[in-house]
Structures are given as C-alpha cells and as structure tokens.
C-alpha cells in the first residue's frame, strides 16, 4: 500500500470518552500519547489536520451530582470540558514535536485563540495541527455538530470519526455478536435507520454539504494512517 495520502485536509472527531483509556473518567496519559503518535504518523505525510474532541470523560464524571443544573449551564460545563481535553492533547502533540494551535468558540485569550476561519486555514496551510475547543460556543449543540461545522468551515475533504468499534453497525456490536457492519451507507439510511453515528443535526448538515464521513476504530494502532493512505476499512457515510 502506497504511503501517499488520498486526502489533503481532514477533520478528526474524537469523543472525550476515547481519552479515558481504562479509567472511569478523566484522561489516561498513555492513551493520549498513543493518539498523538497516530496523528504524527499522518502529519508526517503532509496531511492538514483539524481536531474536535468531546468532553464526556470530564463532564460525565460529575454528571451524577449535576441534578438540578439547567441544560444551558450543563452544556456550558461540557464546552469547558472540551477545552480541558484540547489543552491536554495539545501538550501531548507538542511533546512529540508537532506544532499546534488551539482555537475556541468561546473567547478565553489567556488560553487559546478565538475561532477565526481564515486564521485556522492559514495555520493548517503552515503545517500546524489545529484543535477546536468549546464546541459551537452555543448550548444545545453537540460536539458532533461542532465537528461537522468546523469541517465545512475549513473545507476539509472528509470527517474521520474515531470510535471504539470498527465502523457503523445495524445494531450495537457490544450487545449483539451477530451485528452486521456496513462498509458504506448513505446519510439518508443513517437517519431512517436511526443509527448512532452522530446526532441527526450533524448528519443532516453533512448531507446538505455533501461532506463524507469515515467511521473507524481509533484504538487499533495504524488505522488512521491506513485510512489516510486509502486502505479500505471502517464505514464510509456519504451521499
């Protein structure tokens, strides 16, 4: 398989839970380092990389005590949790020699740049990995929707959604050993079958902008590079 990338610019979406490793909540340093090395293997090919990370590993760690918190407040807490994850990932990437920028949808100048589309694209063109924190900056929107929005804004070729399973299945493969994985599926089928790829707002936005999405297992070493170089794995969601 050639190591020539088939994509020039990608947006990688990671869940906050992906950073937990075997922990119950929080950030596992070994998992963080492993993901950073995966990014490095792709970055070395000249691929421009944007990253959106969820905040479930931090917010869900305190969710049991969050009864009575208004959803807007809870969503604001979740957005701040994504920034914590981005700072941790930024440090892991820079520790192995990758230049990065962190941009947030909520202004916090002492920590990150505000999200500015043209500046983000310029960073990517200069070979910097750009992390996008704080979701969309508004409550009621998930980081899935934020990932699609940022991918459209930076004109990414594809969204790569790293998960703990190999792709999109017709039922939960953890609960059903006979679950069937799709190699390809349309946005419309994802919506009609109510498959939990991303929330429906994110899928609808992807469909309207004809933005393809690849769902794959990020925990298997080398998978990210295999996708970038054209190996056939995971599930492609497209029109």
Per-residue pLDDT tens over the stretch 192-239? 988 888 989 999 999 999 999 999 999 999 999 999 999 999 999 998
Q: Give the pLDDT score at 187.
A: 94
In a domain, 76, yes or no: yes
In a domain, 208, yes or no: yes
In a domain, 1, yes or no: no
Domain span at residue 108 reads 9-238
Q: Give the pLDDT score at 66.
A: 60
In a domain, 115, yes or no: yes
In a domain, 232, yes or no: yes
The model carries a pTM of 0.94
In a domain, 4, yes or no: no
Cα–Cα dist 228/8, whole Å: 9
In a domain, 31, yes or no: yes
Q: What percent of the chain has pLDDT over 90?
A: 81
In a domain, 2, yes or no: no
Q: How far is CA 16 from the centre of its chain?
A: 9
Where residue 127 falls (left for φ over 0; alpha for ψ -120 to 50; beta otherwise) is left
Domain count, the chain: 1
Q: Give the pLDDT score at 65.
A: 55
CATH of the domain at 166: 3.40.1160.10
């Amino acid at each position: 398989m050639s190591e020539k990338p088939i994509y020039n610019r990608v947006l990688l979406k990671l869940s906050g839970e992906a950073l937990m490793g075997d922990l119950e909540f929080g950030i596992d340093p070994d998992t963080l380092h492993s993901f950073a090395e995966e990014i490095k293997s792709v970055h070395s090919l000249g691929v421009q990389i944007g990253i959106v990370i969820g905040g479930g590993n931090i917010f869900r760690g305190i969710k049991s005590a969050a009864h009575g918190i208004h959803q807007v407040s809870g969503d604001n807490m979740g957005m701040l949790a994504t920034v914590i994850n981005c700072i941790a990932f930024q440090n892991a990437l820079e520790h192995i020699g990758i230049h990065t920028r962190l941009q947030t949808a909520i202004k916090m100048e002492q920590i990150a740049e505000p999200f500015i589309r043209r500046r983000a694209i310029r960073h990517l063109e200069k070979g910097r990995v750009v992390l996008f924190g704080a979701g969309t900056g508004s409550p009621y929107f998930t980081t899935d929707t934020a990932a699609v929005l940022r991918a459209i804004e930076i004109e990414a070729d594809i969204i790569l959604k790293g998960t703990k399973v190999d792709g999109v299945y017709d039922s939960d493969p953890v609960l059903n050993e006979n679950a069937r994985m799709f190699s390809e599926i349309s946005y419309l089928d994802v919506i009609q079958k109510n498959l939990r790829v991303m929330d429906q707002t994110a899928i609808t936005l992807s469909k309207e902008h004809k933005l393809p999405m690849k769902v794959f297992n990020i925990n298997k070493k080398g998978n990210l590079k295999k996708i970038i170089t054209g190996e056939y794995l995971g599930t492609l969601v497209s029109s």
